[in-house]
């Protein structure tokens, strides 16, 4: 019997070339469009059983190009066997089967099976030409191509990112029939084997016969098809021009990727602007050049901005671009004049003078305005500064001013400069360097590759900014879900982890989150509450809270949406996850973090006791490092094996509580004595946070444990002797677990 999908015949190999030619495609959409076009065709061909060798897609400002090589000339012939109803089934059921299979009664075979006689049919389906398949794929997908934004033009129903001019489609040297574009939509879009080159340098149409012919003729018509080739050309030319001027190119990968999509025949040129504009902060100038004009900035050997710029033209001229350079210089002069105007105007108002305007900006409907948030950040930054040894007043001052530049003209024009412009304004008005840097760095680190602040004032304000967001949005149950994280809370938590670890801060994270909660919910810190209680010893706790609420900075309505304890447990899980991800990036095994407890907090304790669980990241990291180093040695690996052997024996034992005695055999006595000494020494080392030393003490147990397992029979016939030996094993387990939970370690 033939298989259900038997491929018949042998096909020749061919290539397919498709070019969709239009008005300029926005640079930000080009790469995705190329990937989408490739996926549409390759997925459809694969689904239809058409084999091909490889597929490549190219994109320029005016054309999307697909090239598929090694295509079968037709889809494979197939045989499909279908089993129908029983032979004695009702007539209507049999007719329905025949109609669905597209066969007649004389094509049906009746076969005897265990459950009776059933109808069977073999359907032979002849493959269609790949040319027809390609035409169908194009026609069914052109109108639903997944552009982020698309448009209609003229009197037609086709949507595309910009008006279409023509479609070139060739399969195995033959033109494809796509004339439906003219007949069905009353819009004639030429299709066939013709295209055009550069808009100005080679606008005449020409015919092509293959991809090699197409690419060569495009190159002759001043079009570089491959984006990678254009990118390399632009980058090399820009660096060369910069070096010839004795300067360095300010590298910007994002800008480079964008300008690659703006020119089909990139010509790299250098211009100059008035040196007087250099009085404006250079980040403002580079932002203006990049955002508005797509220009590259140049710097000297010290990284100081030069009054020259590099840009990419889509035109080759006989005067070596002199007129183009002059035009771009005039346009940039106007842009930089606007930037200087913003700078000069902003300096007329102090940062503190801008604070009232923050009360008109809503941070979140349930978390108040930006002005109210600033007041929280002041309180929280002061508390954190005390904990990490930073200047409290400077931290509060930086927090007070950190959002003021949001209402400046410069940040209104260039949002990416927020924080940084605040630093420049602070310096101009004579604020201390630590305050100015704290304003600039309070958003940092913005990602895993961003530099982490190290100045204590900057660290205090940066931590406050992130903790306020985390507690606020988690309190409103706005935590990240799946891939969605609209408030960038994952980034904020990772920033907190990095700030603590990279600055080696002895910082109680749980206590900081609790203080953040009280500031958010009632406008006062725990320290303020304790101080009030000391000053009013006869006041009940309930009246204390009521009095503090009346003095509060602000009472956030409807906060928190979830219960306080649930909030902290949820946050501990979230931070634990971010900590593990960060440590995984550092090459640390996840099981070692689990073995040292991670950042899980347990609030299921009596009211007069503090929640259990580690919240000192530096101490946790030291424990993880010590464990990792210990297990990389022979002693560590062998001791882990001994631990697992003891733990496996104890798994099924329940009645072994109590302390062991020295026992009867020498090996028992030796292990008992070693455990007593090692347990005390390890406890002292852990208390002193000398985790490496604690591991060294554990390593001395190995000979005694090996001798015990070699010479002592745990399952003795004497019940008292057996119980004592089980208690010794439990003592091994408990002693080692004081350093880390070795049962969580894999391998």
In this prediction, residue 742 carries a pLDDT of 84
CB 16 within 8 A of CB 129: no
d(CA 341, CA 727): 80
Span 179-194, average pLDDT: 64
- pLDDT, one tens digit per residue, over 675-708 is 888 888 888 988 888 888 888 888 888 888 888 8
* CATH code for residues 633-744: 1.10.730.10
**To the nearest whole percent, how much of the chain has pLDDT over 70?**
90
Q: Tell me the pairing of strands 191-192 and 164-171.
A: parallel
d(CA 63, CA 19): 6
Which pair of structure tokens corresponds to residue 524? 């006062």
Cα separation values, 739 from 355, 572, 655, 683, 693, Å: 51, 21, 25, 8, 11
In this prediction, residue 712 carries a pLDDT of 84
Cα separation values, 648 from 587, 597, 652, 705, Å: 29, 21, 8, 15
d(CA 8, CA 1): 15
What's the chain's average pLDDT? 86
* Sign of the CA dihedral running 235, 237, 241, 246: positive
CB 61 within 8 A of CB 72: no
Confidence of residue 418 (pLDDT cuts 50, 70, 90): very high
- Closest-CA residue to 152 (of 162, 142, 144): 162
Q: What is the dihedral of CA 625, 626, 631, 633, to 10 degrees?
A: 110
In this prediction, residue 205 carries a pLDDT of 94
Per-residue pLDDT for 559 more than 80?
Answer: no
d(CA 643, CA 737): 10
Break the chain into its structural domains and give their ranges: 13-75+129-220, 78-125, 227-346, 353-580, 633-744
Give backbone dihedrals phi and psi of 154, rounded to 5 degrees, phi first: 65, -155
- pLDDT, one tens digit per residue, over 450-498 is 999 999 999 999 999 999 999 999 988 899 988 899 999 999 999 999 9
CATH class held by domain 353-580 = mainly alpha
- When comparing pLDDT for 33 and 106, which is higher? 33
d(CA 25, CA 648): 66
Cα separation values, 119 from 85, 91, 116, 125, 693, Å: 6, 12, 10, 19, 79
- pLDDT, one tens digit per residue, over 596-647 is 877 778 777 666 566 677 888 888 888 888 888 888 888 888 888 888 888 8
- pLDDT, one tens digit per residue, over 238-280 is 999 999 999 999 999 999 999 999 999 999 999 999 999 999 9
d(CA 654, CA 633): 33
Q: Cα 570 to chain center, whole Å?
A: 21
Q: Radius of gyration (Cα) for the chain, nearest Å?
A: 37
Sheet holding 296-299, edge to edge: 248-249, 296-299, 305-313, 267-272
d(CA 244, CA 145): 45
Please name every residue paired with 59 in a beta bridge, in sequence order, or none if there are none: 64
Q: Which helix (H) or strand (E) holds 642?
A: helix 634-650
Name the least confident of 42-51, 409-418, 711-720: 711-720
Span 405-413, average pLDDT: 95
- When comparing pLDDT for 12 and 206, which is higher? 206
Q: Do 13-75+129-220 and 633-744 share a fold?
A: no
CATH class held by domain 13-75+129-220 = alpha beta
Span 651-668, average pLDDT: 80
DSSP assignment string, 60-100: -SSEEEEEEEEEESBPPBEEEEEEEEETTS-HHHHHHHHHH
CB 474 within 8 A of CB 571: yes
In this prediction, residue 555 carries a pLDDT of 47
d(CA 196, CA 205): 5
- pLDDT, one tens digit per residue, over 424-456 is 999 999 999 999 999 999 999 998 889 999 999
Q: Cα 107 to chain center, whole Å?
A: 58
Q: Tell me the pairing of strands 194-196 and 191-192.
A: unpaired
Burial 550-583 (b: 16+ CB within 10 A, else e): eebbbebeebbeeeeeebbbbbbebbbebbbebb
- When comparing pLDDT for 418 and 99, which is higher? 418
SS3 430: coil
d(CA 295, CA 309): 6
In this prediction, residue 3 carries a pLDDT of 32
Span 567-595, average pLDDT: 87
d(CA 58, CA 261): 11
Q: Would you call 37 exposed, middle or buried from its count of C-beta atoms within 10 A (0-12, 13-18, 19+)?
A: buried
Q: Tell me if the bond preceding 693 is cis, omega within 30° of 0.
A: no
In this prediction, residue 505 carries a pLDDT of 93
In this prediction, residue 747 carries a pLDDT of 66
- Closest-CA residue to 129 (of 210, 16, 17): 16
């Amino acid at each position: 019997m033939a298989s259900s999908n038997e491929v018949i015949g042998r096909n020749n190999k061919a290539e397919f070339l498709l070019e969709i030619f239009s008005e300029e495609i926005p640079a930000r959409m080009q790469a995705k469009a190329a990937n989408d076009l490739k996926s549409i065709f390759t997925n459809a061909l694969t689904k239809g059983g058409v084999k091909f060798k490889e597929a490549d897609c190219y994109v320029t400002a005016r054309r999307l190009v697909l090239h598929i090589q090694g295509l079968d000339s037709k889809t494979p012939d197939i045989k499909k066997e279908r089993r129908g109803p029983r032979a004695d089934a009702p007539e209507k059921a049999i007719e329905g089967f025949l109609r669905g299979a597209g066969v007649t009664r004389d094509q049906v075979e009746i076969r005897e099976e265990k459950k009776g006689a059933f109808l069977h049919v073999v359907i032979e389906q002849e493959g269609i030409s790949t040319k027809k398949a390609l035409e169908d794929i194009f026609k069914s997908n052109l109108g639903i191509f997944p552009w982020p934004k698309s448009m209609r033009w003229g009197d037609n129903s086709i949507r595309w990112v910009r008006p279409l001019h023509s479609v070139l489609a060739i399969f195995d040297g033959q033109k494809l029939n796509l004339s439906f574009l003219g007949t069905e939509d009353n819009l004639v879009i030429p299709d066939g084997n013709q295209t055009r080159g550069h808009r100005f340098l080679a606008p005449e149409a020409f015919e092509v016969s293959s991809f090699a012919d197409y690419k060569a003729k495009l190159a002759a018509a001043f079009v570089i098809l491959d984006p990678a080739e254009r990118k390399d050309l632009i980058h090399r030319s820009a660096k060369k021009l910069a070096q010839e001027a004795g300067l360095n190119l300010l590298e910007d990968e994002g800008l480079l990727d964008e300008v690659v999509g703006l020119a089909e025949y990139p010509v790299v040129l250098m211009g100059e602007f008035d040196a007087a504009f250099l009085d404006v902060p250079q980040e403002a100038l580079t932002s203006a050049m990049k955002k508005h004009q797509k220009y590259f900035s140049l710097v000297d050997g010290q990284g100081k901005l030069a009054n020259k710029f590099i840009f990419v033209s889509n035109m080759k001229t006989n005067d070596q671009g002199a007129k183009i350079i002059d035009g771009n210089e005039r346009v940039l002069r106007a842009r930089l004049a606007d930037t200087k105007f913003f700078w000069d105007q902003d300096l007329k108002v102090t940062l503190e003078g801008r604070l009232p305007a923050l009360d008109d900006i809503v941070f979140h409907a349930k978390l108040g305005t930006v002005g109210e948030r600033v007041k929280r950040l002041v309180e929280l930054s002061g508390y954190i500064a005390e904990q990490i040894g930073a200047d409290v007043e400077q931290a509060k001052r930086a927090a007070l001013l950190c959002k003021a530049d949001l209402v400046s003209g410069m940040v209104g024009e260039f949002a990416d400069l927020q924080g940084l412009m605040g630093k420049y304004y602070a310096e101009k008005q004579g604020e201390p360097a630590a305050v100015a840097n704290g304003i600039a760095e309070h958003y940092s680190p913005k990602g895993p590759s961003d530099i982490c602040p190290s100045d204590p004032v900057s660290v205090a304000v940066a931590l406050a900014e992130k903790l306020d967001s985390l507690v606020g949005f988690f309190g409103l149950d706005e935590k990240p879900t799946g891939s969605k994280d609209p408030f960038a809370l994952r980034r904020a938590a990772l920033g907190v982890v990095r700030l603590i670890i990279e600055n080696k801060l002895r910082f109680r994270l749980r206590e900081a989150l609790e203080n953040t909660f009280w500031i958010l919910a009632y406008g006062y810190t725990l320290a303020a509450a304790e101080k009030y209680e000391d000053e009013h010893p006869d006041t009940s706790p309930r009246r204390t809270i009521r009095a503090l609420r009346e003095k509060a900075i602000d009472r956030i309505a409807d906060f928190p949406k979830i219960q306080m304890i649930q909030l902290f447990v949820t946050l501990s899980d979230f931070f634990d996850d971010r900590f593990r991800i960060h440590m995984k990036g550092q090459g640390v095994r996840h099981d070692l973090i689990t073995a040292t407890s991670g950042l899980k907090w347990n609030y299921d304790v009596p009211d007069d006791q503090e929640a259990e669980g580690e919240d000192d990241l530096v101490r946790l990291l030291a424990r993880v490092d010590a464990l990792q180093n210990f297990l990389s040695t022979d002693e560590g690996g062998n001791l882990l094996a001994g631990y697992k052997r003891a733990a496996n024996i104890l798994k099924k034992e329940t009645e072994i509580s109590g302390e062991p005695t020295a026992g009867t055999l020498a090996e028992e006595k030796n292990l008992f004595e070693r455990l007593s000494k090692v347990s005390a020494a390890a406890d002292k080392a852990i208390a002193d946070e000398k985790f490496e030393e604690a591991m060294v003490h554990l390593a001395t147990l190995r000979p005694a444990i090996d001798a015990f397992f070699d010479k002592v029979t745990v399952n003795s016939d004497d019940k008292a002797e057996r119980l004592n030996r089980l208690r010794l094993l439990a003592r091994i387990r408990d002693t080692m677990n004081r350093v880390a939970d070795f049962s969580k370690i894999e391998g």
